[in-house]
Amino acid sequence: MTKTRVEKDSMGELNVPHDALYGAQTQRAINNFPVSGQRLPEPFIRALITVKKAAALANMKLEALDESRGKAIVSACDELLNSDDVMAHFPVDVFQTGSGTSSNMNANEVIATLASRYLKETVHPNETIHPNETIHPNDHVNYGQSSNDVIPTTIHVSAALELEKRLIPAVETLIAQIEEKAESVSQYCKTGRTHLMDAMPIRMDQSLLSWSAQLKQQVSTLSSHQPAIQSLAQGGTAVGTGINAHPDFAATFADTISELTELKFTPAENFFAVIGSQDTAVSLSGAVKSLAVTMMKISNDLRWMNSGPLAGLGEIALEALQPGSSIMPGKVNPVIPEAVAMASAQVIGNDGAITVGGQSGNFELNVMLPMIASNLLSSITLMTNSVSLIGEKAIKTFSVNKEALEEVLYRNPVLVTALNPVIGYAKAAEIAKVAYKENKPILEVAEAMTDIPKDELTALLDPKKLTSNR
Q: Catalytic site residues?
A: 195, 325
Q: Is 350 exposed, middle or buried (0-12, 13-18, 19+ CB in 10 A)?
A: buried
Number of CB atoms found within 10 A of residue 354's CB: 26
Cβ within 8 Å of residue 16, ≥6 positions away: 4, 5, 6, 7, 22, 23, 24, 26, 27
Cis peptide before 131 (omega within 30 of 0): no
142-163 burial, b at 16+ Cβ within 10 Å, e below that, comes to bbbbbbbbbbbbbbbbbbbbbb
Beta bridge partners of residue 7, listed in sequence order = 14
- DSSP letter for 87, please: G
Reference 156, options 225, 240, 229; nearest CA is: 229
CA–CA separation, 294 and 226 (whole Å) = 20
Count helices and strands (H / E) in the chain.
18, 10
CA–CA separation, 211 and 337 (whole Å) = 14
Q: Kindly write down the DSSP assignment for every residue of 358-397, as one continuous string.
A: HT-EETTEES-HHHHHHHHHHHHHHHHHHHHHHIIIIITT
Distances (CA, A) of 395 to 12, 185, 379: 59, 11, 22
46-68 burial, b at 16+ Cβ within 10 Å, e below that, comes to bbbbbbbbbbbbbbbbbebbeeb
Contact 142, 108 (CB under 8 A): yes
CA–CA separation, 79 and 336 (whole Å) = 38
CA–CA separation, 346 and 461 (whole Å) = 44
Contact 389, 295 (CB under 8 A): no
Q: Give me the phi and psi of 44, to 5 degrees please.
A: -70, -45
Contact 409, 191 (CB under 8 A): yes
